[in-house]
Amino acid sequence: MVGYGTYGVEVVNILKQNKARYVALDYNITQVEKGEKANDNVIFGNITQENFLEKLKLDLAKCVIITVDNTSIIKVICDRILDIAPNANIIAKVDSKAEEEELEKLKINSINSKTEIAVLLASYAFSDFSKPCHIKK
């Protein structure tokens, strides 16, 4: 998993709850230290550096999840990953339709955080408010 920020921490928590094996990467040492304190498998590194990527053996990963908050570098990260592991299954969090379309050209799956949140909020408007609504993370 690339990015151990707000979304990355949440994804790691879900992966751990489901006993999935994972490695989270972040270039922000403060985030890495936060992960270490939480006993998460987080390592420090720059995912855009080829020599770092090669050590990760991404071709063996079931998928690569990208949750970086700086969406301007998502395409660069995807390009680097695909250079090393051309058949990698990548899914990236994006924040705009333009980013979705850019990744679609690379055959990369994406989730538009703004659209997905809007769908969830609207679905509550149509739900039965007489019953408590709980979302399982």
pLDDT in tens, 125-137: 877 665 555 555 5
Do 4 and 23 form a contact (C-beta atoms < 8 A)? no
Residue 92 belongs to domain with CATH number = 3.40.50.720
- Provide the residue range defining the domain that includes 114: 6-125
pLDDT one-digit tens code per residue, 57-85: 898 899 999 999 777 799 999 999 999 99
DSSP 88-134: --EEEEESSHHHHHHHHHTT-EEEEHHHHHHHHHHHHHTS-TTS---
For residue 42, tell me if it sits in a domain: yes
The dihedrals phi and psi of 133, each to the nearest 5 degrees, come to: -105, 125
- On whether residue 73 sits in a domain, the answer given is yes
Long-range pairs of 21-29 with CB within 8 A, sequence gap ≥ 24: 23/56, 25/1, 25/56, 26/2, 28/4
Which tokens belong to 96? 């705009």
**What predicted TM-score, i.e. pTM, was given to this entire model?**
0.85
- Residue 100 within any structural domain of the chain: yes
Q: What is the pLDDT of residue 127?
A: 77
Q: Looking at the 3D structure of the chain, how many domains does it have? A: 1
